[in-house]
Chains A and B, each alone.
Chain A
Amino acid sequence: MRITKDMKMADVIQMNYMLIPVIHRFGINLGFGDKTVKDICSETSVDLNFFLQLVNTYHDKDYFPKEELQSIPSKDIVAYLRMTHSSYLNEKLSEIEESIELLQHGEAEDEKYILLIRNFYEGYKNELTEHIMHEEEVVFPYVLAVEEIYKTGLVSEKNKKIYDSFSILKCQDAHDDVEEKLMDLNTIMIKYLTPPLNTSLYHKIIQLLFMLEQDLSYHARIEDKVLVPKMIAMEKMISELN
């Protein structure tokens, strides 16, 4: 079901609880009573159009914003993506890591296997961090530069350097590798590992991994379905200008 501006925010969250961290990244807190999406957006000065597109893209994997796409400034999208990145780096990844560590201290006999999981996760975490840093340091500055060129029609010295050094097409398939590892970790924990005695913690970790996987895929969808097409269109316009 499509999320609209006149729906109650509480209903939206009840429909899909995965949206809780999403609205939190917009600076919206729970406890909204009967206020509608529109009310809350105007209260917290969040762009309503952007908010709707974003939650719908999160909520429905087949949703594809078309006309509205061009109207949202890339800098808003980038600002949002940066918020998600920091929530991964500062909260989600360490939360899982701490749980795995806890598992390791739990008992002695299975320590060897837990160590395997821990090392694997460590490797995954480093890879994801690297991927995020790449986006923060290369992709986002590029996006912002392209938008500036597109808007002003002027190519400053600084922007030209950024523009020439990268193209959005380069980041299109980068997501798969990172996702793959996370799925592997889950597969191993579900299919091949004998669970340790502390099953409840073990289950919690698997659930956390699934939630991270889902959140990441939502995040990737924003990049792939909103940001990348926007950039491709802008790149095309710019290359026609030159």
Chain B
Amino acid sequence: MNNITIVIAEASCLIQKGLDSILKNLGDNQIIQKMNKAEGLFESISTLKPNILILNPGLLDTNVELINEECGKLKACKLVIISNDDEAEKKYSADAFIHYEDGESKILSCLESLKDDLDKKDKKVKLEEPISAREKNILKHIALGLTNKEIADQLFISIHTVVTHRKNITQKLGIKSVSGLTVYAILNNLIAMDEVK
């Protein structure tokens, strides 16, 4: 799975650090950026393209209109509003809300569900199927010890295509080395043990 980038935009150092330490329990594959100033906030967000933005409206002087407008422009970014205002849900169009008095488990479950949403979206792009017939064929050739060029020539495809297939195979199987892929190929009867050179 790819890294998830989270931006915490919060002026209070206590809240920022606290959130940061809670977020660490969310998993390893995340990058957390912290910001504590309103200046340049949305500019940096548009370059960082975070998956989740945790924003305290106080940072922007609780300017509801500005926040809704700017955050509306964020595509593919989940917005979490952090506030002690009971009316926050009504004011802002956010994906989730964190209140000052929320416990750690509540905050985590709120962010986990956002993360799950992101993962689902991610998976639609990638293939669910373990490894396609085409990839199996390429894998067979790799296991037989052929170079990218040789595989490309034999299958009448470009080297670039072979490289792409290889990348996908490695990603799907979690095996990087040629000898590892060979073992996989033998275990799955793609090639026989005595075919290996």
Chain A positions near chain B (C-beta within 8 angstroms): 112-113, 115-117, 120, 123-124, 177, 180-181, 183-185, 187-188, 191-193
* Contact residues in B for A187 (Cβ distance below 8 Å): 173-175, 180
* Contact residues in B for A124 (Cβ distance below 8 Å): 179
Residue pair A193, B175 in contact (C-beta under 8 Å)? no
Complex CA–CA separation, A123 to B181 (angstroms): 14
Chain B positions near chain A (C-beta within 8 angstroms): 173-177, 179-180, 183-184, 186-188, 193
Residue among B179, B186, B193 facing the most chain A CB atoms (10 A cut-off): B179
Closest CB of chain A to B129's CB: distance in Å?
16
In the complex formed, the residue of B with least CB distance to A181 is B177
Known: A112-B193, A116-B193. A188 touches B176 (CB 8 A): no
A-B contact pairs, 18 of them (CB 8 A): A115-B193, A116-B183, A116-B186, A120-B180, A123-B179, A124-B179, A177-B177, A180-B176, A180-B177, A181-B177, A187-B173, A187-B174, A188-B175, A191-B173, A191-B174, A192-B184, A192-B187, A193-B187
Closest CB of chain B to A43's CB: distance in Å?
38
Residue pair B176, A184 in contact (C-beta under 8 Å)? yes
Partner of B183, one of A177, A180, A183, A188: A188
* Contact residues in B for A181 (Cβ distance below 8 Å): 177, 179-180
Closest CB of chain A to B87's CB: distance in Å?
41
Complex CA–CA separation, A152 to B113 (angstroms): 62
Residue pair A184, B186 in contact (C-beta under 8 Å)? no
* Contact residues in A for B188 (Cβ distance below 8 Å): 192
Other contacts beyond A116-B183, A116-B187, A181-B180: 4, CB < 8 A: A116-B193, A120-B180, A177-B177, A192-B187
Instruction: Please name the 3 residue pairs, one residue from A and one from B, whose CB atoms are nearest each other, closest first.
Output: A184-B180, A180-B176, A187-B174
In the complex formed, the residue of A with least CB distance to B181 is A184
In the complex formed, the residue of B with least CB distance to A183 is B176
Closest CB of chain A to B181's CB: distance in Å?
8
Residue pair B179, A113 in contact (C-beta under 8 Å)? no
Complex CA–CA separation, A171 to B177 (angstroms): 20
Partner of B179, one of A115, A184, A191, A192: A184
